[in-house]
Amino acid sequence: MNLAHHVPKQLDRADFARPEAPWLVAVFTSATCSTCAGVWERAQHLESDQVAVAELELSADKGVHERYKIGGVPTLVICDAAGEVKRAFLGPTTATDLWAAVAEVREPGSIPPGSHTGEL
């Protein structure tokens, strides 16, 4: 298995902040990754009553990276209350694409066709 491109299909919400929130945006990063910093900065703006946002930095959260077989960073996943991953982004992404992906999982059909939403 090539871990560099692995996206988990299921997360245990208890591994992340605010497991009671209906949605989770989890950003797997590394302190040595300049692209990660930008993705994390954009993802933080998604935090709301309905959306928990968590950064899992490799040196601080190595066990979580290993549990979900994250071999490449940045990896961003959007999952529902049950932990099912609905969308994912590997590598850099724009704020527009992140907002669109969260909007689309929360309310399907809410964005125009052809938008990049991290579909699995």
Residues 6+ apart with CB under 8 A from 11: 24, 26, 68, 77, 79, 83, 85
* pLDDT by 10s per residue, the chain, length 120: 344 578 999 999 999 989 999 999 999 999 999 999 999 999 999 999 999 999 999 999 999 999 999 989 999 999 999 999 999 999 999 999 999 999 999 888 776 665 555 565
Domains along the chain with CATH numbers: 3-106 (3.40.30.10)
* Strand order through the sheet with 23-29: 51-57, 23-29, 75-80, 85-90
Burial class of residue 39 (count of CB atoms within 10 Å of its CB; 0-12, 13-18, 19+): buried
